[in-house]
Chains A and B, each alone.
Chain A
Amino acid sequence: MSDEVQMDQEVYDRLIGEGKSERIARAKAKAAAVRKSKIEEGATLGPKPAEEATKALEEFRSSRSGGGGVATKTAAPADGGGGGRLTPEERAARVSASLGNGGDSGSVGVPAASDHTHRLLALVPPAGIQQVQSKQQDKVYTWPHLLLVEFVALLAAGSLLLVASFFLDAPLGSLANVNEVPAINKAPWYFMGLQELLAYFHPAVAGITIVGAAVLLLMSLPYVDKNPSAKPENRKFANMAFTFFLAFWGILTIIGSFIRGAGYEWVWPWVQGLGFVL
């Protein structure tokens, strides 16, 4: 569109002669051409004279007080014929008048005569805004810092396992035989606590009730423990209770694994040896 505007060649040549860049010279020459054509059409250029604005304000005030019947008390100091500025009430009235509300309407921003049920703006209560608290934290890049640590841990654990597997053979007993109950009959080590419980309680109690309760308790733990602090000094009871829980199963597992022999009798490992296969 700007290409359609003719350049003022005189101005362009003068500016180029002054050493201005071609881009600036072209823009200024075009602006000069537009200005010239407007003056020819009889338009007045430059800022509008102040009297015009004051007159428009006067007209608006008189029409408002005439139409609405409300005497407008101009809060602004009435110097120089009407102050020259709209008061906030006047501004609001002018906005609503231009929107066609004809005074006061229930909703802001909706023309009274329209069928629109939507508007563009709404007031949002503070509770409706998600509170984002970004705390400054001491952070480091995942690569290389974390990934290197993880890689080293992985290599260490992998090589430890490889060395163990090289020297220690996994057990393989004789062929399974349903009719031949072995003298020492034990579950895998992680179930030995459970098997030890079975030595004291009926299976329905030890196997199902106690274990079921323990699992449910573990799962509901975050909902039971309402203490918001994670500091050890603030959660002595929780730490103590959990330590007892771990110790309970740990001791049962150790007894079941190492101090139980043939027929699941209590025998010391230094008397009959470890009745334990991993």
Chain B
Amino acid sequence: MPKLPKPPKPPSYSEVRGTVQDNVIWKSIFRPGSIYRKGYRDTSRDRALAAMNNVLYHLHPVKVKRHGLKLTYTYCLGGLSFFMFILLTITGIFLMFFYTPAAGAGAEIAYLNMRELSTTVTFGALVRNLHRWGAHAMVFLVFLHMARVFYHGAYKPPREFNWVVGVILLLLTLFLSFTGYLLPWDQLALWAVTVGTNIAGFSPVFGDQVSFVLLGGLEIGPETLLRWYVLHVLFVPFITVVFLAVHFWRIRKDGGISGPL
């Protein structure tokens, strides 16, 4: 039997990595200092560059106070609230593919879509569950975040205005959750929203007008569903993102996280 030539040795991991990292395209994507760039070393300079040359520099400075790293200082509540917001955006986009905000006698499409979501759509039930529980979690996390900030006195100068922005964000979170509550168009949604909007009708002076604008009519109906759908998927998230941007920016401008106590 003739002796076969030895097969070439497969390239090692570091060789592959070097080849992948050492080309024009890779270098154009990852800026100097990126931890994915060739030649990243765990030095003070590269650690600073990793933060400075990253889109996250909008959120985080190069260095943070050491006490802020302790889990029991922030419990990551603000960050997790934001994470829930991102997660709800992603799952929400998925749900939008399978949902039509239409209701009315003989055309109960919204409710039908909800049924299909839990029965026929692949991963439909799981994503809907994620969206629902994530929404409750976000409301709860925002409440806890507010309490944490209060007990640390983190709203004191120079952070007064950021607390106000935070209260607005809390209200926006509640409104986001509440507008989403109607969309399944089941008995639970309809009557929970009825209770809520009845209260809005008692606003001083403009009570009837507020109620009419919210409902798109004199009582909850298909117009309300469409209206709240648009508020839920477009209008309120947009406003929330604007306030989130200001909120995060102000954290840095006001000197980072508060404390230590």
Contacts and interface: CB of A to CB of B under 8 A. Distances in A.
Interface of A: 137-147, 149-150, 153-154, 157-158, 161-162, 164-166, 168-178, 180-182, 185-191, 194-195, 198, 202-204, 206-208, 215, 218-219, 221-223, 225, 227-232, 235, 238-239, 242, 246, 277-278
B186 A172 contact: yes
Given A228-B156, A277-B188, A140 B203 contact: no
Contacts of B133: 161, 164-165, 168, 170
Contact of B118 (A150, A169, A198, A232): A169
Contacts of B103: 176
B111 A165 contact: no
A177 B190 contact: yes
Contacts of A149: 69, 71, 76
Given A174-B186, A175-B186, A142 B134 contact: no
A140 B118 contact: no
Interface in B222-261: 258-259, 261
A162 B130 contact: yes
Contact of A204 (B151, B168, B202): B202
A277 B132 CA distance: 12
Contacts of A228: 156-157
A49 to B, nearest CB: 56
Contacts of A190: 139, 143, 174, 177
Contact of A225 (B48, B61, B156): B156
Contacts of A181: 191
A221 B159 CA distance: 12
A124 B159 CA distance: 30
Interface of B: 35, 44, 47-48, 50-51, 54, 56, 60-69, 71, 76, 79-80, 83-84, 87, 103, 108, 111, 114-115, 118, 125-126, 128-134, 136-137, 139, 143, 147, 150-157, 159-161, 163-164, 167-168, 171, 174, 177-178, 181, 184-192, 194-196, 198-204, 219-221, 258-259, 261
B153 to A, nearest CB: 3
B118 A142 contact: no
Contacts of B68: 146
List of 8 A-B pairs having minimum Cβ-Cβ separation, nearest first: A230-B153, A207-B199, A222-B160, A165-B129, A173-B186, A170-B132, A176-B190, A139-B63
The interface residues of chain B, by DSSP majority, are classed as helix
B164 to A, nearest CB: 5
Centre residue among A143, A175, A215 by max chain B CB count within 10 A? A143
Centre residue among A162, A166, A172, A202 by max chain B CB count within 10 A? A172
Contacts of B187: 173-177, 180, 182
B69 A146 contact: yes
A215 B167 contact: yes
Contacts of A202: 202
B115 A207 contact: no
B126 A146 contact: no
Contact of B60 (A137, A142, A168): A142
B63 A185 contact: no
Contact of A229 (B153, B191, B196, B199): B153
Contact of A221 (B130, B137, B163): B163
Contacts of B71: 149, 153
Contacts of A176: 103, 111, 185-187, 189-190
A221 B196 CA distance: 26
Contacts of B129: 164-166, 168-170
B48 A141 contact: yes
Contacts of B150: 221, 242
Given A162-B130, A170-B129, A230-B154, A138 B66 contact: yes
A277 B56 CA distance: 39
